[in-house]
Chains A and B, each alone.
Chain A
Amino acid sequence: MALVVKRPTLNFAEKIYLPALLGGLIITIKHFKDRLLGKTKVTMEYPEQKWDAELPDWYRGAPTLVTDEWGRERCVACQLCEFICPPRAITIKPEEIPNDTKWAKVEKRPQEFDIDMIRCIYCGLCEEVCPEQAIFLRKDYSITGYSRAEMMHDKAKLYELGGIKSGVVNKWNEKK
């Protein structure tokens, strides 16, 4: 059996519409008054006030490269991040580490490491896939530039943003 929805029968006050109108006006003027007296919590004024202090630890900002505590760049140019990157923002050009240097046994390092910040979607897959814990999404969110070239983060820029991160990956350290 079909469901019969009962039409509400309106009384006189509801029919002339004015009491409802008045009620609405009272609600809006209350909001106006509270806002005028500063009782309402309003939105933050962005460039002057920032939420940086309250960003959660898991916040996914700009992807960066990090060095370990001995100054070695952690990236070994395995290119997993390049392959998993959904918008293909990462471009890596690997090179061999010369035999006569300290970290020769690591064998590979990136010669060029570019992240196109116009393409990056801050998904964090690069961080998740990295076997060396070399790439991290930091808390920088306001990545802007006047040209496309400026938005292309190269290796130097990425290390500058990333800094040093001491972590659990110690397989290249002889002492441990």
Chain B
Amino acid sequence: MDIVNFLMTPEIFLVWTSLAKTLGLLGIILGFVSYTVYAERKVSAFIQDRVGPNRAGVPLTGIRLLGLGQPIADALKLLLKENFIPNSVNKFYYYIAPKLAMIPPILVLAVLPFGSELFGVPMVIADINVGVLYVFAVSSLGVYGIVLAGWASNSKYPFLGGIRSSSQMISYELALGLSVVPVFMIVGTLNLPEIVNYQVANGWMIAPYWIKDFDLAAVMANPASLGPLLVSSFSLQQLLLSVPMFISFIVFLVAMFAETNRAPFDLPEAEQELVGGYHTEYSGMGFALFFLGEYAAMIAGSGVIVTLFLGGWSLPLIPDGSAGWFWGLVNIAVFFGKVSALLFFFIWVRWTVPRFRYDQLMKLGWYFFFELALVNIFVTALIIAFIKS
């Protein structure tokens, strides 16, 4: 009993639950990363009328399982490959660059509320008040991995990739930061779990058409009560705000594509122009870390978008974790379901849109999205100031 009492003291409880959450989330995310690679290959194959990976299944049995063993086989191959280091590289930065590309996206996950609560434990690792600032600060560090890799490789194509990455960052980062300001103006906090709670009460940021205090059983019993409920739930301010929110969402989504180096903004890799871009000189596990870092960044980015605009772990008519552990698990599943849907969108766009030219991306960032995000802030401010809710 002593041990149980010890574990239940508040400080110790916080420590071991945080550890358990960290390990659990890390496990889920790493699995997600490898199967996102599989999804990327499979979806691209299907879009291009091909078969895609379909052979690697259970080893030595001939069971194929639609190629679901492929990520494991890929990881084993990359682990066992020789980590060749060219003679001309700057060894220290060459070593450190892949780690710098992999770690920031994983750090971002620490502040994402990936579920409501489970057994009374809130499903967020670090419930900090500067959540979104932390996300921007850490995820921007990811670019250092790419720039350092390009510079340390001491080779022209990686160098061009690194330069492109840094110039790409300055052109989208402003739009990325400004596009979420309207969200904070509406919610009034930077704390990510609280942003999700606001969306649970008032509807998702991009679709705030929520009926407040909706009770399905009561409405079924008395259908006439739906009318007044609708009138009382929707205010003019709320409806007007959905327009700047939608613009915010589009700008943020596009900027996130650039942030995660995904097509159509995958200029740092641009394999047709720059051989492999920043990771040309990497092999084995170094290359794998860049590759996994890209997908981890995609997942973290999708998690941020889901949390800010798509209602986080919430789904209409589904109670949160205080209603029981089952609903807590359902909330976690909903969050990852939304992230998966967004990841599919990322992949879908990559195999649809051709890559932007270098100057086109700069033009897009500086001439359109920056202004759009800026005007959006003022429009939101005016709506909040002059139209009473």
Q: Which residues of A contact B (CB under 8 A)?
A: 21, 24-25, 27-29, 31-32, 34-36, 40-43, 45
Contact = CB atoms under 8 A, between A and B. Distances in A.
A31 B348 contact: no
B349 A36 contact: no
Contacts, number: 36
Contacts of B351: 28
B215 interface: no
B385 interface: no
Interface residues of B, number: 13
Main secondary structure of the interface of A (DSSP, over half): helix
A32 B47 contact: yes
A149 B156 CA distance: 44
Contact of B49 (A21, A24, A29, A42): A42
Contacts of A29: 47, 348
Contact of B352 (A24, A36, A42): A24
B353 A31 contact: no
B48 interface: yes
B352 A25 contact: yes
25 contacts: A21-B352, A21-B353, A24-B352, A24-B353, A25-B349, A25-B352, A28-B348, A29-B47, A29-B348, A31-B46, A31-B47, A32-B43, A32-B47, A34-B49, A35-B45, A35-B47, A35-B49, A36-B46, A40-B49, A41-B49, A42-B49, A42-B50, A42-B51, A43-B51, A45-B51
7 nearest A-B pairs in the assembled complex, by CB-CB distance: A35-B46, A28-B352, A24-B352, A28-B47, A32-B46, A40-B49, A32-B47
Contacts of B46: 31-32, 35-36
Contacts of B349: 25
A21 B50 CA distance: 23
Contacts of B43: 32
Nearest to B345: A25
